[in-house]
Amino acid sequence: MLMHPKPIGLIACCGSECLGGYISRAVAASIVHQQRAGQVATISLPRLLIGTASEKKFSLNHPTITIDGCTKACARKAVEKYCFKPIVGVNIGELIGEQEALVTTEPNAFSTPQYLAELEKVSGIVTHVVDSLAAMYEKAKMAQNHSCDQGTCDCGCSGSSCECGCESGSRDMVHDDALHISGEHHVDGIVIYTKNGCPFCAKVLQEYKDKGIQFQEVNTSINVWAKKLCHDKYGSDKVPVVVKDGVVIQIGDNEGKG
């Protein structure tokens, strides 16, 4: 797995032409300077073009998430054009609605309940994406450092499927995976299958949380069996997949995007 030595990067379009652009900047600033201060790096988009050599290599050194305000996707395109492809591209139009994102902003709009609600919603989704990516890299780092076979694993897994990422743990998981895929492990209630860094998954999770609906999240990036289950049993190659009492009730977000 590709290992990144530096923190996750966040690049927002900061587009001033529409509401989506303002939200992109506000969300990125909030995460970088407040919610995940010290854990997430950022850079102003133009620095990829006119910055120092180090700045131009930003997405090469940081697993980068781009946040775009609209479908022009300027941030994602710029990162792809001038540096290294971002890990995840979040489009705010897909989260709050394309028309809403393209609304021309008024100076007094920033204190309205609607703006604050949308800001909180997008912020929650992007934070989830950041956290899931961070968890993925942390797991990869653990896998690199641990080896049960050599007796150097300090996770205490003893070869069981503790998800530490060590080889012994992975080997024992094969049997467990088979149980899940065959359907012997049946979970009642709502199960939402997700993957790391998926903004659509984060959006659906946020919506269920907001509505106060109890659910269990299963990350297909961590659990190989869940990915196979989604494909083999539920016929979906994309996530999120929402399953209620063993029956699929939703694939993708509300608009089917995943």
Rule CB under 8 A: choose which of 6, 39, 44, 182 binds another protein: 44
Rule CB under 8 A: choose which of 8, 23, 28, 230 binds another protein: 28
Q: Compare residues 22 and 137 and give the one whose CB is closer to another protein.
A: 22
Q: 């998800």: which residue's tokens?
A: 163
Q: Give backbone dihedrals phi and psi of 72, rounded to 5 degrees, phi first.
A: -60, -25
Q: Please, what is the minimum distance in Å from the beta carbon of residue 37 to another protein?
A: 10
| Pairing relationship of beta strands 241-244 and 190-194 according to DSSP bridges | antiparallel
Q: Is 47 in the site for another protein (CB under 8 A)?
A: yes
Q: Is 221 in the site for another protein (CB under 8 A)?
A: no
- What is the Cα–Cα distance from 10 to 35, expressed in whole angstroms? 13
Ramachandran region, residue 15 (left: φ > 0; alpha: ψ -120 to 50; beta: rest): beta
Q: Compare residues 25 and 244 and give the one whose CB is closer to another protein.
A: 25
Indicate the Cα dihedral angle 89, 92, 96, 102, nearest 10°: -140
Q: Is 40 in the site for another protein (CB under 8 A)?
A: no
Q: Please, what is the minimum distance in Å from the beta carbon of residue 215 to another protein?
A: 31
Q: Is 12 in the site for another protein (CB under 8 A)?
A: yes
Q: Compare residues 28 and 125 and give the one whose CB is closer to another protein.
A: 28
Q: Is 17 in the site for another protein (CB under 8 A)?
A: yes
- Name the β-bridge partners of 190: 244
Question: Exposure string (b/e) for 99-128, b if CB count within 10 Å is 16 or more?
Answer: ebbbeebeeeeeeeeebeebbebbbbbbbb
Q: Is 57 in the site for another protein (CB under 8 A)?
A: no
For residues 103 and 4, the answer to whether their CB atoms sit within 8 Å is: no
Q: Please, what is the minimum distance in Å from the beta carbon of residue 242 to another protein?
A: 33
Provide the binding-site residues for another protein, judged by CB under 8 A.
12-17, 21-22, 25-26, 28-30, 32-34, 42-50, 69, 72, 74-75, 77-78, 81, 105-107
